[in-house]
Amino acid sequence: MFRARSIFHTVVPALLCCPALAIAQARSGVIAGSVRDSSGQHLNETVVRLVGSSTQVSPAMSDDSGHYRLPGLESGRVQLFARRIGYAPETLSVSVVEGREQRVDFVLAAVPVELQAALVRADPMRGKMGPFNTRRARGVGSFVTRSEIEKRQANSVSELLRYIPGVGVMQRMAGEPQPVRMQRSGSSSAPPNCTVSMYVDGQPYPNGNVDDFPPLSIEGIEVYKSASEIPAAFRTRDAMCGLIAIWTRDPDSAKRKPNLN
């Protein structure tokens, strides 16, 4: 009598204090297995969970060897759902048997993942053409952009410059420099046909020929017709008659040497 009472006083408090233990004993089924792709490669970080079941069981995640384990399941028919980014999800049906471990293996098929498109806009005020675009925004001087070059379809830079009022190019024999001159009014203090200075990619290009650079190699052109228009970045004693700055698309093209004869 004393022994039976002692067992009662030992077991009952344990069940009352640890209801989770009693539930776990009632739900003793286990599902375990592996997750692979169609080539047999084990897949980690695959979420495996129950679907369409009232049983509250935390999802499992496959480890680096592709294995997963779902313990504490109630007996009966359940649906298992496996999902991993980059693979088509799969659902399998399995019967849970009390006190037994059922093996369920998943083979997932790879599918392309379509990510949301992101529009990236380049900052026009940064990079090589940043100073060009900054000065163009101020509205002082004349500017020829890449889109205008493509629209004109000119065969030479001198042809492009003829579209700018007040700018002329002296025509000489083939192979000789063709200096650019500003056509000025008689009231101007500068000579009527004043030879302008040239810059290429921000560097002086003395005695150069604008046609040293084919239009396809040019990203933009700046034209300043008088000393008052020339920005500080280009202002020198040799630029008092105006200035033309060419910006190339190909950095190597700026290394061409002008004709100094």
Of 95, 52, 89, the residue nearest 73 (C-alpha): 95
Q: Are 199 and 234 in contact (CB under 8 A)?
A: yes
Q: What was the pLDDT predicted at 193?
A: 56
Domains and CATH numbers, the chain: 18-108 (2.60.40.1120), 130-255 (2.170.130.10)
**49, amino acid identity:** R
Give the pair of three-digit tokens for residue 165. Answer: 């009022």
Q: Which residues pair with 79 in a beta bridge?
A: 51, 93
Q: Over 90: is that where the pLDDT of 6 sits? A: no
HSE-CB of 43 using CA atoms within 13 angstroms: 26
Nearest-Å Rg of the Cα atoms of the chain is 40
Q: Over 90: is that where the pLDDT of 108 sits? A: yes
Give the pair of three-digit tokens for residue 147. Answer: 């889109």
Better pLDDT: 233 or 171: 233
Q: Are 67 and 90 in contact (CB under 8 A)?
A: no
Q: What was the pLDDT predicted at 252?
A: 52
What are the residues whose beta carbons fall under 8 Å from the beta carbon of 88, sequence distance 6 or more?
108, 109, 110, 111
Provide the strand spans (E) within 109-162: 142-145
Q: Are 192 and 186 in contact (CB under 8 A)?
A: yes
Better pLDDT: 235 or 230: 230
Give the pair of three-digit tokens for residue 26. Answer: 């009632």
Q: Over 60: is that where the pLDDT of 228 sits? A: yes
Mean pLDDT of 37-41: 93
69: left (phi over 0), alpha (psi -120 to 50) or beta: beta
Residue 171's pLDDT band, with cuts at 50, 70 and 90, is low
Q: Over 70: is that where the pLDDT of 184 sits? A: no
Q: Over 60: is that where the pLDDT of 259 sits? A: no
Average pLDDT, the chain: 78
Number of Cβ within a 10 Å radius of residue 254:
17
**165, amino acid identity:** P
Q: What was the pLDDT predicted at 250?
A: 60
pTM: predicted TM-score of the whole model, two decimal places: 0.48
Give the pair of three-digit tokens for residue 153. Answer: 């379809």
Better pLDDT: 222 or 180: 222
**Backbone phi and psi for residue 19, each to the nearest 5 degrees, phi listed first:** -65, -30
